[in-house]
A and B are shown apart, each in its own frame.
Chain A
Amino acid sequence: MAADTSIWQRIGFHRSFGVAEAGWGRTLAVAGVSFVYFLPVLFIIFTAIKPQALALSVPPTLSPTSLFGLIPDQFVFTPTLENFSSVFSRVMTGGGQPEPTGFDRFFFNSIVIASASVLLALVLGTLAAYGFSRYPLKGNDTYLFIILTTRMLPAIVVIIPVILMFRAVGLSGSYLGIILLYTAFNLAFTIWMMKSFFDELSTDVEDAARIDGSSGTRVFFRICLPQVVAGLAATFVFGLILTWNEFLFALLVTGPDTRTVPVAMNQAVSSGGRGTDWTLLAAIETLFLIPVFLVTFFLQEHLLRGVTFGTVRK
Chain B
Amino acid sequence: MSTIELRGITKTFGSFVAVQDADLSVAAGEVVCLLGPSGCGKTTTLRMIAGLERATAGDIVIAGRRMNGLPPQERNIAMVFQFYALYPALTVGENIAMPLHHQAIGKAEIAAHVAKVADILHLRDILDRMPGQISEGEKQRVAVARAIVRDPNCFLFDEPLSRLDVELRHTMRSQIKAVLSNLSRATVIVTHDQLEALSMADRIAIMRDGRIEQVGSPHEVFARPANVFVASFIGTPQMNLIEAEFKGYGDGKATVTFGRQDVNIPAAPAVAALAPGRVTVGVRPRAFTVVPKDTADTIDAVTELIEPMGAETLIHARTRTGGDIRVVIPRDKKVKVGEPLHMIPDPMQTHIFAADGKAVRA
Residue positions of A touching B, CB distance < 8 A: 202, 204-205, 207-215, 222-223, 226-227, 308-313
Contacts and interface: CB of A to CB of B under 8 A. Distances in A.
Interface in B78-126: 78-79, 81-83, 85-89, 98-99, 101-103
B88 A211 contact: no
Contacts of A215: 73
Interface of B: 50-52, 71-73, 75, 77-79, 81-83, 85-89, 98-99, 101-103, 130-132, 139, 146
B73 A210 contact: yes
A227 B81 CA distance: 19
- The 3 A-B pairs of least Cβ separation, nearest first, read A226-B89, A213-B102, A309-B132
B83 A309 contact: no
Nearest to B76: A213
A227 B132 CA distance: 13
A232 B71 CA distance: 29
B132 A205 contact: no
Contacts of A223: 87, 89
B339 to A, nearest CB: 51
Contacts of B83: 202, 204, 312-313
B89 A210 contact: no
Given A212-B99, A213-B73, A204 B131 contact: no
B73 A205 contact: no
Nearest to B146: A212
B52 A202 contact: no
B352 to A, nearest CB: 44
Contacts of A222: 87
Contact of B85 (A309, A310, A312): A312
A236 B82 CA distance: 34
Contacts of A213: 73, 99, 101-103
Contact of B131 (A207, A211, A311): A311
A310 to B, nearest CB: 5
A241 to B, nearest CB: 27
A75 to B, nearest CB: 52
Nearest to B158: A204
B286 to A, nearest CB: 40
Contacts of A202: 83, 85
Contacts of A212: 73, 78, 98-99, 102, 146
Contacts of B52: 207, 210-211
Nearest to A207: B52
Contacts of A310: 132
7 contacts: A207-B81, A209-B98, A212-B99, A223-B89, A227-B88, A310-B132, A311-B88
Contacts of A312: 83, 85-86, 88
A108 to B, nearest CB: 36
A213 B98 CA distance: 9
B48 to A, nearest CB: 13
A202 B85 CA distance: 8
Contacts of B132: 309-311
A211 B86 contact: no
Given A213-B99, A213-B101, A309-B132, A207 B72 contact: yes
Contacts of A205: 85-88
Contacts of B101: 213
B44 to A, nearest CB: 13
B262 to A, nearest CB: 57
Contact of A211 (B77, B82, B89, B103): B77
Given A204-B83, A207-B81, A308 B73 contact: no
A52 to B, nearest CB: 54
Residue of B89, B99, B132 with most partner-chain A CB within 10 A: B89
Nearest to B74: A213
Given A208-B87, A227-B89, 7 more contacts: A204-B85, A207-B50, A210-B71, A213-B101, A213-B102, A309-B88, A312-B86
B130 A309 contact: yes
A213 to B, nearest CB: 4
Q: Select the residue from A213, A223, A227 with max chain B CB neighbours within 10 A.
A: A213
A211 B79 contact: yes
A205 B131 CA distance: 12
A308 B88 contact: yes
